[in-house]
Amino acid sequence: MLSRVPIRLRLTAAFAAAVIVVLLVSGLFVYARLRADLNDAIDAELRSRAAAVAEFVRVHGPGVASSTPLEDVEESFVQVFSLDGRLLDSAGTASGPVLSPAEVGATVDGEQWVERDVPGIDGRARSLARPSVGDERLGGVIVVVGQSLGNRDDALRDVRNSFAVAGPLAVVAASLVGYWLARLGFKPVEEMRRTSGDISARNTGQRLPLPKANDEIRRLGETLNDMLDRLEHSFERERRFVSDASHELRTPIAVAKTELEAALRTGDYGADVGDAIRIAIEECDGLAQLADDLLVAARADEGGLALLIEPLPIRALFDGLRDRFVDRATPRGRSIVIDVTDFGDDLVVLADHLRLRQILGNVVDNALRYGDGAIVLRATRRDGHIAIEVSDEGRGFEPTFVDRAFDRFARDDQARTRAGAGLGLAIVQALAQAHGGQAEIVDVAAAGGTGATVRVTLPAASR
């Protein structure tokens, strides 16, 4: 459970717990030290007073103990006992003897300390009893001096109350300071986190900021930056390989297709050979498309995808697209329909002709491979953009596949047994974004329809 709590809060809680322990230990130490010092002061005062009273009684006799001067008669007292335990005289407001005859007898052999409640004295009292030379007829006396502990207890109570009030305030203040220190300490980590969120395969030149202090966080940042350097070099090698390989593949694929088409035109073959040649030509088209897609992906990652933006009429693009794929659609019993209901010949899009041809070609190729029924091409104007839609009447996209349909090498379950590398829609999205547009899958089921619709939105040319 504690592992789910943010580190800042855990550090703050640990800091607060440490402060509580320190306050408790220091409070107990201060309390015990203050109590001992006050007791020592009271004992010293009682010893001094007992010596003074004993000398006074020795000189003037036990009957004059009531004349002993006291600073506060309500908090201190003096009593003189005979050796047999009789109270001879007293000073102060203590009512009755403070020692029993047995305690008086025990004092004959030496001084004795007693701490108890004394009637007539404010609060608990501490007493010192000691033998003294008295009247010769009595054979000596016992002098008892006492002091109320009320002032000591009030001072100790004030200390306890001070800790009870100031302690929680100190813990709260320490917690706030601890949280601030934790936040300040993790500030370099937060900066690293924000920077790492901006680093991607297309933005590998950025590095994590390093704090000035040569501490653990700096060393962690240096290690991560070294790792980013290695990853960047790996990405660069991969991009160069993909770019070079796709570029080199285009020529042999084009040569193989040309030779197969020439063989097909001769007509000097059987029916089975003709079917094999047509299938081989179609596979060459697929390989050529894959090589183009890989080349576009590599250049898009490098940021080197050059575009020649120009106004392009939508109707002419659709006508060329239909002519391009009609030979593949007809043998499969499928048609390519241009829906001109919602637009006229005045729709013009701003795009690179070659790249837009590749965008639409990938979408139509995807519909031919995985869709069914007629393929419908339509376009509408939307807020300064042209929305181009390609629809078919097949099963459509799996709901779980829609969110990752434009990821590279992503294929839904129904397409896994068919040809294709899963790059077509990813290239569509990359090229659309390079034009300042966007590609998306339209939820035709929500509109009560069937099949699949891919929408590509691109900037419209001004009228």
Question: What per-residue confidence (pLDDT) applies to 458?
Answer: 93
Distance of CA 15 to the CA centre of its chain: 19
Question: What per-residue confidence (pLDDT) applies to 421?
Answer: 58
pTM recorded for the entire structure: 0.48
Q: 95 or 379: whose pLDDT is higher?
A: 379
Inter-residue contact 384 to 463 (CB < 8 Å): no
How much is the mean pLDDT over the chain? 80
Question: What per-residue confidence (pLDDT) applies to 87?
Answer: 85
What CA–CA distance (Å, rounded) separates 234 from 109?
97
Q: What does the pLDDT look like over 196-230, one tens digit per residue?
A: 777 765 556 678 788 777 778 788 888 888 888 88
Inter-residue contact 456 to 439 (CB < 8 Å): yes
Sign of the C-alpha dihedral computed for residues 207, 209, 211 and 215 taken in this order: negative
Tokens of 343: 């637009």
Q: What does the pLDDT look like over 249-264, one tens digit per residue?
A: 767 777 777 877 777 7
- For the cut 50, the answer to whether the pLDDT of residue 129 exceeds it is yes
- Write out the DSSP string of 300-311: HHHT-----EEE
Question: Where is average pLDDT lowest: 101-110, 394-403, 441-450?
Answer: 441-450
Question: In sequence order, which residues have a C-beta less than 8 Å from that of residue 148 and are 6 or more positions away?
Answer: 72, 74, 75, 76, 121, 122, 123, 124, 125
- Amino acid letter, 149: L
Question: What per-residue confidence (pLDDT) applies to 416?
Answer: 40
- For the cut 70, the answer to whether the pLDDT of residue 301 exceeds it is no
What CA–CA distance (Å, rounded) separates 418 from 424?
14
Q: What is the DSSP code (8-state) at residue 330?
A: G
* Length of the chain counted residue by residue: 463
The average pLDDT across 363-392 equals 88
The average pLDDT across 287-315 equals 74
- For the cut 70, the answer to whether the pLDDT of residue 244 exceeds it is no
With tokens 């290695």, the residue in question is: 230
Out of 91-95, 331-335, 343-347, 416-420, the most confident range is 331-335
- For the cut 50, the answer to whether the pLDDT of residue 417 exceeds it is no
- For the cut 90, the answer to whether the pLDDT of residue 456 exceeds it is yes
Question: What per-residue confidence (pLDDT) applies to 29?
Answer: 93
- For the cut 90, the answer to whether the pLDDT of residue 37 exceeds it is yes
Inter-residue contact 260 to 277 (CB < 8 Å): yes
Which domains are seen in the chain, by residue range? 7-156 (3.30.450), 216-298 (1.10.287.130), 307-459 (3.30.565.10)
Question: What per-residue confidence (pLDDT) applies to 389?
Answer: 92
The average pLDDT across 174-191 equals 82
Strands of 102-229 (E only): list them. 112-117, 124-132, 141-148
With tokens 């408790």, the residue in question is: 24
Q: 261 or 146: whose pLDDT is higher?
A: 146
If we measure between CA atoms, which residue out of 163, 168, 173, 210 comes closest to residue 31?
A: 163
- Specify the 3-state DSSP secondary structure of 172: helix
Half-sphere exposure of 428 (CA within 13 A, CB side): 27
What CA–CA distance (Å, rounded) separates 99 from 256?
125
Sheet holding 87-92, edge to edge: 87-92, 76-82, 141-148, 124-132, 112-117
